[in-house]
Amino acid sequence: MIVSEGFKLPKGFKASGIHAGIKKYKKDMALIYSPGVCTSASTYTTNKVKAAPVQYDISVKDLPKHGIIANSGNANAVTGAKGLEDAARMAFEAAGYLDAAKEDFFVCSTGVIGVHLDMEKIRNGIKELVRNLSESDESAKDASEAILTTDTMRKECSVTVRIDGRDVVVSGFAKGSGMIHPNMATMLCFVTTDCAISHEALQQMLGSSVEDTFNMISVDGDTSTNDTCIVLANGEAGNREITGKGREYDAFKEALTYVLGRLACMIAKDGEGAGRFIEVKVEGARSKKDARILARSVVSSNLVKAAFFGSDANWGRILCAMGYSGASFDPGRVKLLFSSEKGSVVVLEDGEPVGFDEDKAKAILLEPSVSVLAVLGDGNAKATAWGCDLTYDYVRINGDYRS
């Protein structure tokens, strides 16, 4: 598997990103398009309050697709019947310019909740997006930039993997900085590939990969109304279609999971106001489910996040978060370690405190990326979750988000 920098369009895909005036200055509309028909897979927010584009996408998710039309700056969420009409209209407008049906396009929005879209700006934006469609790296960059809101950087990843003797590209970009919490989706993520794969195989694969990637990150404990992850596969690589499990299925799944995992970590690192990236590893759990629950509980704890903001080796908060998680484990067998590029320090052994050098621990926790390892000794299962610290800037950013 070869990893490339940035978001590279696979064979047969085009993209564009523009400023349509939804936001004051930044790009705010994106289009991904394949003239060839794509199989697709998708997952959506578990929030009962689902934005209009999410409701629309769910209604057409099993149909073949040509692309995705997206906007940022306005979530089109909690906007009633008009919001649903506007979401469908976005698909209809894109389809009209590209000789397709509205069901051929997914629609995604992100931004402020409770405000109707300015459909004149949307319509003019779609016209410009279609005019600017290109296979160039610059157009791919424009598209990935156009879906950002409070993000401070683009989140992109591309890999090439050998499938059935053919080079297959799996390439994705995402947005996410706040309202990030486990239970997919947690953000917007668009993945394109020129692999030939059936809808059923791709959907099964995406669901499994999301469990170990996007469902294992948390920034602030809020699950958004608009969270969506979409994969489009147009088959242009020319490999024999993957329809079920086997060597080719495993190779493609590894590539897809790698891309999703990289994007998930980028989202966690770019959490609103974040100063420190946190990785929580749980090993020796009785089951994979228990390991996931424990890791997510720790990385989601505001008290743990606050301790990392202060570079405080407060291991008691970690054990507390594990204890209320609901997972099965024996507290009397737990070993806890902190580590970073400055080294590692054991703070708990067999459920009892260990004397450790506070200065060394402080130096370890002052690093921009810090890892927690919890070894349980109850079994062989393991899991990893990712998040960030909780800072003053998080409150500042979200205190005036609509301004």
The four Cα atoms 133, 1, 282, 310 give a dihedral, to 10 degrees, of -50
Q: How many CB atoms lie within 10 A of CB 363?
A: 15
User: In whole angstroms, what is the distance from residue 108 CA to residue 116 CA?
Assistant: 14
Which 3 state secondary structure label does DSSP give 243?
Answer: coil
The two three-digit tokens of residue 210, written as one number = 């999301």
Q: Position 323: which residue type?
A: G
Q: What angle do CA 26, 119, 187 make, to 5 degrees?
A: 55
Contact (Cβ atoms closer than 8 angstroms) between residue 59 and residue 161: no
SS3 content of the chain, % helix, strand, coil (to 5): 35, 30, 35
Q: What angle do CA 87, 189, 278 make, to 5 degrees?
A: 135
The two three-digit tokens of residue 194, written as one number = 């020129």
Count of all residues that appear for the chain in the document: 403
Which 3 state secondary structure label does DSSP give 363?
Answer: helix
As annotated, the active-site residues are 186
